[in-house]
Amino acid sequence: MIALAILSILFASALPDMSRELTGRQLRAASADLLAAINETRVQAISQRRVVTLLAKDGDLQRGWLIVVDSNANRSADESEQVLARHMPPPGRLAVRASFTDTTAPFYVAYNVAGRSCRAGHPNAANFGTITLELAGEQRNIKINMQGRARLCDPALEPATCASI
């Protein structure tokens, strides 16, 4: 009985660490998935030689995202437009915020034929900024620069170069 009591105390003390580790893994996975989708959008724009857009499903990244050839630049996936990829929603408690030079709703990330980030209706106008993903107090940022290069960073480890929104 004493050994069982000691084991249960040790197990109970390890639960918060296990929970934090699981949360960290979920955040890293969701961040990596979104970064991969952004990079895929860029690759598709270059290979298809047209503007390709990553859109939040139903205007909300909490519902997932789509990679679309948004030929009419209305920042939505119309029935006549080609959907290149779909991604399922991230974990339910994940908060996603974005701050870009083009503040027009809904959120999107578009790339032109040169692989540069651009505005939906203006392929030569740059659109760059930061996407912040947060889960249980931890954050990851995806920074997209003027040339369209996206990188994933941790603002806790890189406060000078990975500022949050």
The DSSP code sequence of 61-108 is GGG-EEEE--TT-SSS--TTSPEEEEE----TT-EEEEEES--PSSPE
How confident is the model over 93-112, as a mean pLDDT? 88
Q: Please count the residues of the chain.
A: 165
Question: Confidence class of residue 44 from pLDDT cuts 50, 70 and 90?
Answer: very high
Phi, psi of 75 (to 5 degrees): 60, 40
Is the pLDDT at 132 greater than 80? The verdict is yes
Domains, the chain, in order of start with CATH, read 23-153 (3.55.40.10)
Rounded Cα distance between 107 and 92, Å, is: 19
Read off the pLDDT band of 165 (50, 70, 90).
low
For the chain, the average pLDDT equals: 86
Contact of 141 with 160, CB cutoff 8 Å:
no
